[in-house]
């Protein structure tokens, strides 16, 4: 079985209100069961886990859990099931399927072993069968009540169990697959899932779908007397009238033999050995038939060892109840049926052996064997129909081929009608009349009993039929989004009675009857129910009646308790509404159901008051526990929630539905229900806190609200429906509107309640409230006054600002839940609150902007703790703030000041982090999780990215740039970038491991690009002269930093060869910036080989500071080029070359200060490029470069790369080095840290790292080449500690790539200056060209202050720079004097320098 490879890093924990469920989750996640072979048989942990799972074979909770939070539990369960399958392969009748990933086979789970005879299957211990059944039952219940089913990674193993010799295992495996395929119930989700449902079953490329299609076949069709209804209702008693065609109980299987069978053994196909019959046509053109008559399936001696016995099927009472298997007494005649395994091997023997049957037809044979075996009793036929319906549900939801599904329904054209036949008895005239005409006012209980205990079709079969119809309707055509050809071919809507004028159609009648029955029961008072119980007592007084009832009871199945009747009725109503919801999603279905009176039934259902129903039943029935009562209340809320969601869907697509909803005062009904639920939550929490207090004084206001999953879902559904209704009203001419409703106390209370207790209600629900609030205010600005006066605005501002950690503390801690929907909605509400001048004044006084921006740089909302700000969510926030500033200009300065203040906070955080990182010595951590410093570094990168993306949206507006720069924003951007480059050994490790250090980003591409884009927006819209002035000062500081660190490098890494050169160079103007020989003293080994050397940390810091200063200077020079280009573009667009604005920034370029700055830059750039060429032209460099691509043969130790995922989209983990041809085996998220012990470059030129989970890439393959991983540390590790992970065979096209030396890394970083320096001179050349074109040929003047003087100065600067570049002493010595021996540069280096 495959362990879960998905990661839960950054997933916001789900709100779980049920303490028992929370405890179960923690307990299961705490298990740590490792696959250690046979020792697992005696493991007490396994027995404890199985015992715990057995207690939860049926789901007892309201929540739909998020599978991301159950990954550790799934992996423990995975280990046990893997152990069972690997160590007891005889449990399978067929060999396991071929896997998509070979790594699964390498784990020892997949073995080509299976049972060779029936005795092999019977030899499997009962404890193993029980354990597998327990696991499958728990997985089935979990998967039927969860979201994110794509996390479940064990589909192929469950499909293998479909071929188990034990019928219980096969049935539970099929049930598990059906729940994997079925989408999560929308009406039970606390937050809408925007992703389309998908799972490993949907994307499976194995024969999983083929097996399910085989299981979805039945005995025959309706026309042959073997329809679903006939099979489940046929009477097998001696006096039964429903005789079924007996041929369905025989095994008749045909296949094409792989080769012509010529020998006599191959001719012996029939079990009776009649060779003459076979020669008459049993074998015809390789078509082989297997026939086993009914007598050989059931007419066997009772005491024979080949029959099913009670001992063979004694798992648990649950299994017997669910599967109805065990000793089969066919038609009461004492006949027994052979076990599935014996019948299967009997069929193989009849075919001449397993090898005579094509491998791809073996499972079809097994399916036919199970089908024929189950035909001979009512209970077994019902079980077989249940299995067929579950297989049908699975393929309808998960089968990817429309053609195969179309062929399936073409072969069974009456299947849709057969499914409908299973539902017709529920709304037949007999059922309805018997439920409504009982005396003594007991019709309410009888109506529930009619839903829970159908007289003809078994309850589970009927429910599965509804689910199959739902799957058929919900299956969508990818091209048009409408009903698929299969659904149209089956004429599903017409068969359901969904059409214009079909008031008495099946589905409309079923909806009305089910909801009316439920409403009748829920509104029944205590007197009615007590009369029902007293009726039972009075019946016992009649002796004759007593005898008759005793005989009836003895000859009838046990009656279900009232409690179970209620549970089953609610589940059936839930299934019917799910089918209705699928029909409503089709426009034609909405119109037809609306015309048939669906809206009134749904509105009445939505009006259920769950605080008062079932009081009589609770008081009179003694078998209801507290959890049972809560469960009933929860199911009623789910029914109401689904009814409201159907109303919402109908309103969106059909105007008549909206009119009918308004006629029934649906808005008032929903708001009333909303208010009652919130009041109930408050009162329940008040009672809980009162019970926990010793004093008799009742608390006036609880600190939180008591909520359960069903109440959360109901509240969400109501508010979502109201939002849709108000939006529809804003575009129509209806009388009712959201503004009028918002002025009423009920809705005001609701909104204020959510804002005040946002932590209890959750971020998604609060986002929906904010959306409703902003929509109403934007459509009706007059309501803004009420919002401020009623306290809604105050509650909202307080929610945004947060709360103080301490009473004396002035710092507020954000309380906004980490939900992207809520964060995105906050600026919209602020903008709506400021729609009026008075509202803008209130917002300005409250000043919520610093608190709002605090969200962008708080670890609660950043990776690796939360994904809520990923996917450009902060860009949306920036768009919202831009709207506020454009519509309310008075708030612009306040917002800009808040932004700059927040950026300065991030700068302070970054400086403190760098200081702690520099003081933190590297340690050897083997595959340990991220440290606190590593997590803080991840947060800092995301903080910077958040502000960069936000500023991109804000600064594109010209009016916003000046207040931003005036507030200090430009300086803040320039200070942020250096903090993105990690210090000390982390920087050296990452730079040493880059595949292309000369061009790859040393920080983070997306973050760097966002800051550069923001700076470019300012350059286009702000005063160029001021920009040049600020940037010149910044570059001056950058050059000084390079000069200082370069001096330290010469002191720490002295070079005797270049001491003379340096001393002679002191006479030069910028001698301290001369980089020639700076790399000669650096070590010519990798960073990992310096570990443990003397002064390692100190020297590493010195190296890192120097190279970081160069990288920062390179970025600053590129910004200078951007400013010059933007200024030129503005001048050209303005049409003048020497206007007032142009004159100022051009004078700045031709000033003495700027000329000196360019001179220093040129001096350093020339020497740096010269030094890079010197190093790269040495023989040692070429030798090291070649050695870098040779695999190290060091058996004692390996290189360990500590990796961190830095890409926002995370990393895809594959089982090989190639990207296109290797399988996706998992993912990793931003901020995750892992170890890699091997790396190479694949055939696409992408660096790949091998981790314990698979291979990940260094960079993306797209145009941007964004970094995916970042190396935090490189070190040697004992080879014995390297985990042995078997993945795909190594690619022949891979290229080894070892760690570069420090000297090579330095040369690569120095070479990066060439690009930025070239861009700078290209931009200056553009200025000169523009200046020359602006000169007048008749009156050319080069006087000070003229355009001629400006152009002349720039020409002189560029000429001087180029002359100095060519007059380097080393160049002159080689070129002019041909003296290579005493030169610091070889001829190859000179050639490289000159290009």
The pLDDT assigned to 565 comes to: 86
Which pLDDT belongs to residue 848?
Answer: 94
Q: Give the SS3 label for residue 274.
A: coil
Three-state SS at 330: strand
What's the confidence (pLDDT) of residue 1070? 58
**Chain segment 610-640, per-residue pLDDT in tens:** 555 455 455 545 567 888 888 888 999 999 9
* Residues shown for the chain: 1395
**1210 phi-psi bin (left φ>0, alpha ψ -120 to 50, beta other):** left
Q: Which of 46-60, 731-745, 831-845 has the lowest mean pLDDT?
A: 731-745
| Sequence-distant (≥ 6) Cβ neighbours of residue 1280 within 8 angstroms | none
Burial status of residue 459 (CB atoms within 10 A of its CB: 0-12, 13-18, 19 or more): middle
Q: Would you tell me how many other CB atoms lie within 10 Å of the CB of residue 664? A: 17
- The percent of the chain in helix, strand and coil, each rounded to the nearest 5, is 60, 5, 35
DSSP 559: P
What percent of the chain clears pLDDT 70, i.e. is strictly above it? 81
What integer pLDDT is reported at residue 330 of this predicted model? 47
Phi, psi for residue 998 in degrees, rounded to 5: -75, -25
What are the C-alpha distances in Å from 589 to residues 578, 639, 650?
14, 20, 9
Which of 316-320, 415-419, 959-963 has the least mean pLDDT? 316-320
Average pLDDT of the chain to the nearest whole number = 83
E strand or H helix that includes residue 1374: helix 1369-1375
1160 vs 307, more confident: 1160
Asked if residues 202 and 417 have their Cβ atoms less than 8 Å apart, the reply is no
Nearest by Cα to 812 from 799, 823, 824, 821? 799
Q: Which residue has the higher pLDDT, 39 or 1101?
A: 1101
Pairing of strands 1254-1257, 1247-1251: antiparallel
Backbone torsions φ then ψ of 602, nearest 5 degrees: -70, -40
Q: Measured between alpha carbons, how far apart are the two ends of the chain, in Å?
A: 58
Show the 3-state SS of 250-266: CEEEEEECCCCCCCHHH
pLDDT tens per residue, range 853-886: 999 999 999 988 898 998 889 999 999 999 999 9
Encoded tokens for 741 = 């409703």
Residue 234 CA to residue 243 CA, distance in Å, equals 7
Structure confidence at residue 738 (pLDDT)? 85
pLDDT score, position 1038: 94
Give the mean model confidence (pLDDT) for residues 924-947: 85
Four-residue CA torsion sign, 706, 712, 716, 718: negative
What's the pLDDT score for residue 1287?
54
The confidence score (pLDDT) of residue 304 equals 41
**Cα separation, 194 vs 208, whole angstroms:** 27
Distances, alpha carbon 179 to alpha carbons 57, 169, 203, 600, in Å: 14, 15, 15, 32
pLDDT tens-digit map of 177-201: 999 999 999 889 887 776 788 888 9
Task: Give per-residue burial for 278-315: e unless 16+ CB within 10 Å, then b.
Answer: beeebbeeeebbbbbbbebbbebeeeeeebbeeebbeb
The span from the CA of 67 to the CA of 905, in Å, is 37
Name the nearest CA neighbour of 6 among 160, 153, 190, 176: 153
Query: For residue range 79-138, what is the model confidence (pLDDT) as tens digits?
Result: 888 888 888 999 999 988 877 554 444 444 455 688 899 899 999 999 999 999 999 999
pLDDT of residue 1375: 77
Rounded Cα–Cα distance for residues 1238 and 1236 (Å)? 6
Picking from 766, 787, 935, the residue whose alpha carbon sits closest to that of residue 862 is 935
| Structure confidence by residue, pLDDT tens digits, 515-534 | 988 888 777 654 454 454 44
1075 and 1168 Cβ atoms separated by less than 8 Å: yes
| CA pair distance 54, 139, nearest whole angstrom | 11
């Amino acid at each position: 079985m495959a362990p879960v490879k998905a990661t839960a890093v950054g997933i916001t924990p789900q709100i779980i209100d049920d303490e028992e469920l929370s405890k179960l989750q923690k307990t299961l996640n705490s298990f740590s069961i490792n696959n250690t072979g046979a020792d697992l048989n005696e493991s007490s942990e396994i027995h404890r886990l199985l015992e715990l799972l057995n207690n939860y074979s049926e789901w007892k909770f309201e929540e739909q859990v998020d599978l991301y939070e159950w990954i550790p539990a799934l992996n423990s369960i995975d280990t046990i099931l893997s152990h069972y399958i690997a160590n007891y392969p005889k449990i399978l009748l067929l060999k396991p399927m071929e896997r998509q990933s070979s790594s699964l086979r390498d784990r020892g789970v997949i073995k080509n072993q299976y049972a060779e005879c029936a005795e092999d299957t019977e030899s499997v211990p009962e404890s193993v069968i029980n354990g597998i059944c327990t696991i499958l039952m728990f997985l089935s219940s979990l998967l039927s009540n969860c979201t994110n089913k794509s996390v479940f990674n064990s589909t192929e193993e469950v499909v293998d169990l479909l071929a188990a010799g034990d019928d219980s295992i096969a049935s539970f495996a099929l049930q598990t697959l059906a729940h994997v395929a079925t989408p999560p119930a929308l009406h039970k989700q606390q937050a809408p899932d925007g992703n389309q449902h998908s799972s490993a079953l949907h994307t499976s490329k194995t024969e999983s779908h083929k097996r399910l299609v085989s299981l979805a076949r039945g005995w025959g069709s309706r026309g042959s007397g073997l329809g679903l209804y006939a099979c489940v209702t046929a009477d097998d008693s001696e006096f039964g009238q429903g005789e079924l065609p007996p041929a369905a109980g025989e095994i008749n299987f045909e296949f094409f033999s792989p080769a012509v069978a010529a020998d006599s053994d191959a001719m012996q196909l029939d079990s009776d050995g009649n060779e003459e019959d076979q020669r008459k046509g049993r074998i015809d053109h390789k078509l082989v038939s297997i026939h086993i008559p009914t007598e050989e399936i059931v007419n066997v001696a009772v005491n024979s060892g080949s029959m099913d016995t009670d001992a063979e099927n004694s798992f648990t009472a649950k299994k017997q109840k669910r599967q109805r298997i065990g000793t089969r007494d066919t038609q009461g005649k004492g006949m027994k049926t052979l076990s599935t395994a014996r019948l299967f091997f009997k069929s193989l023997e009849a075919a001449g052996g397993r090898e005579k049957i094509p491998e791809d037809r073996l499972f079809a044979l097994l399916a036919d064997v199970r089908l024929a075996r189950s035909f001979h009793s009512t209970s077994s036929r019902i079980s077989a129909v249940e299995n067929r319906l579950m297989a049908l549900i699975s393929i309808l939801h998960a089968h990817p081929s429309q053609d195969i599904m179309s062929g399936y329904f073409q072969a069974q054209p009456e299947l849709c009608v057969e499914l409908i036949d299973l539902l017709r008895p529920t709304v037949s005239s007999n059922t309805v009349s018997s439920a409504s005409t009982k005396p003594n006012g007991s019709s309410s209980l009888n109506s529930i009993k009619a839903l829970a205990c159908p007289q003809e079709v078994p309850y589970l079969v009927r429910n599965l039929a509804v689910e199959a119809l739902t799957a058929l309707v919900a299956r969508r055509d990818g091209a048009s989004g409408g009903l698929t050809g299969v659904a149209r071919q089956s004429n599903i809507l017409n068969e359901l009675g969904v059409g214009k004028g079909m008031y008495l159609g099946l589905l409309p009648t079923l909806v009305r009857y089910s909801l009316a029955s439920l409403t009748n029961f829920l509104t029944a008072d205590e007197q009615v129910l007590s009369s029902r119980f007293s009726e039972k007592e009075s019946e016992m007084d009649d002796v004759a009646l007593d005898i008759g009832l005793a005989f009836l009871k003895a000859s009838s199945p046990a009656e279900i308790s009232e409690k179970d009747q209620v549970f089953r009725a609610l589940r059936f109503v839930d299934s019917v509404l799910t089918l209705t919801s699928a029909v409503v999603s089709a426009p034609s279905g909405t119109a037809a159901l609306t015309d048939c009176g669906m809206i009134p039934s749904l509105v009445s259902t939505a009006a259920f008051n769950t605080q008062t129903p079932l009081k009589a039943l609770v008081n009179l029935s003694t078998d209801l526990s507290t959890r049972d009562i809560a469960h009933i209340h929860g199911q009623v809320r789910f029914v109401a929630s689904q009814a409201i969601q159907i109303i919402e869907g109908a309103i969106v697509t059909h105007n008549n539905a909206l009119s009918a909803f308004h006629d029934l005062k649906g808005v008032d009904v929903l708001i009333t229900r909303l208010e009652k639920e919130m009041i109930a939550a408050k009162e329940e929490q008040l009672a809980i806190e009162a019970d926990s207090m010793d004093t008799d004084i009742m608390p006036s206001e609880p600190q939180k609200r008591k909520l359960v999953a069903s109440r959360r879902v109901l509240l969400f559904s109501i508010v979502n429906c109201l939002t849709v209704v108000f939006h529809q009203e804003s575009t129509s001419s209806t009388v009712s509107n959201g503004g009028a409703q918002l002025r009423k106390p009920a809705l005001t209370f609701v909104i204020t309640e959510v804002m005040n207790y946002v932590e209890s209600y959750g971020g998604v629900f609060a986002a929906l409230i904010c959306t409703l609030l902003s929509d109403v205010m934007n459509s009706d600005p007059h309501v803004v006054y009420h919002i401020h006066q009623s306290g809604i605005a105050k509650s909202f501002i307080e929610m945004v600002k947060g709360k103080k950690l301490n009473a004396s503390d002035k710092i507020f801690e954000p309380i906004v839940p980490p939900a992207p929907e809520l964060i995105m909605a906050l600026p919209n509400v602020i903008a709506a609150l400021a729609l009026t001048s008075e509202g803008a004044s209130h917002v300005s006084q409250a000043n919520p902007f610093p608190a709002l921006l605090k969200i962008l740089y708080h670890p609660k909302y950043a990776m690796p703790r939360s994904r809520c700000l990923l996917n450009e969510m902060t860009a949306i926030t920036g768009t919202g703030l831009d709207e506020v500033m454009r519509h309310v200009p008075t708030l612009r300065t306040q917002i800009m000041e808040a932004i700059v203040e927040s950026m300065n906070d991030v700068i302070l955080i970054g400086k403190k982090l760098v200081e702690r990182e520099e003081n933190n010595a590297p340690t050897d951590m083997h595959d340990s999780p991220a440290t606190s410093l590593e997590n803080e570094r991840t947060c800092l990168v995301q903080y910077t990215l958040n502000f960069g993306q936000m500023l991109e949206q804000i600064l594109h507006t010209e009016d916003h740039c000046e207040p931003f720069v005036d507030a200090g924003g430009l300086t803040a951007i320039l200070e942020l970038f250096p903090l993105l480059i990690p210090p000390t050994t982390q920087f050296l490790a990452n730079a040493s491991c880059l595949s292309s250090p000369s061009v790859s980003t040393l920080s983070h591409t997306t973050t760097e690009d966002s800051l550069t884009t923001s700076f470019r927006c300012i350059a286009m819209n702000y005063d160029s002269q001021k920009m040049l002035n600020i940037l010149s000062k910044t570059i001056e500081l950058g050059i000084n930093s390079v000069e200082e660190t370069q001096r330290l490098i010469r002191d720490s890494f002295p070079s005797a060869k270049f001491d003379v050169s340096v001393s002679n160079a002191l006479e030069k103007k910028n001698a301290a910036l001369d980089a020639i020989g700076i790399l000669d003293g650096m070590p010519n080994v990798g960073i990992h080989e310096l570990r443990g050397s003397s002064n390692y940390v100190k020297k590493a810091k010195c190296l890192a500071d120097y190279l970081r200063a160069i990288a920062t200077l390179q970025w600053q020079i590129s910004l200078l080029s951007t400013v010059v280009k933007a200024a030129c573009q503005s001048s050209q667009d303005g049409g003048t070359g020497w206007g007032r604005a142009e004159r100022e920034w051009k004078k700045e370029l031709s000033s003495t200060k700027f000329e000196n700055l360019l001179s220093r830059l040129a001096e350093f750039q020339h020497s740096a490029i010269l030094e890079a060429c010197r190093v790269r032209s040495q023989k040692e460099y070429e030798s090291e470069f070649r050695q870098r691509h040779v695999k190290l043969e060091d058996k004692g130790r390996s290189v360990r790369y500590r990796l961190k995922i830095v890409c926002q989209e995370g990393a895809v983990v594959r089982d090989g080095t190639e990207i296109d041809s290797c399988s996706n085996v998992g993912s990793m998220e931003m901020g995750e840290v892992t170890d890699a012990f091997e790396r190479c470059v694949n055939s696409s030129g992408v660096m790949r790292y091998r981790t314990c989970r698979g291979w990940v890439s260094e960079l993306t393959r797209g145009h941007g080449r964004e970094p995916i991983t970042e190396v935090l540390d490189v070190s040697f590790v004992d080879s014995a500690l390297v985990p042995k992970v078997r993945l795909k065979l190594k690619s022949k096209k891979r290229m080894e790539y070892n760690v570069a030396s420090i000297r090579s890394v330095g040369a690569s970083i120095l070479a990066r200056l060439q690009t930025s320096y070239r861009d700078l001179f290209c931009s200056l050349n553009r200025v000169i060209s523009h200046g020359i074109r602006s000169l007048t040929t008749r009156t050319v003047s080069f006087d000070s202050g003229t355009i001629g003087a400006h152009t002349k100065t720039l020409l002189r600067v560029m000429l001087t720079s180029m002359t100095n570049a060519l007059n380097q002493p080393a160049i002159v010595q080689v070129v002019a004097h041909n003296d290579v021996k005493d030169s610091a540069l070889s001829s190859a280096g000179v050639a490289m320098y000159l290009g």
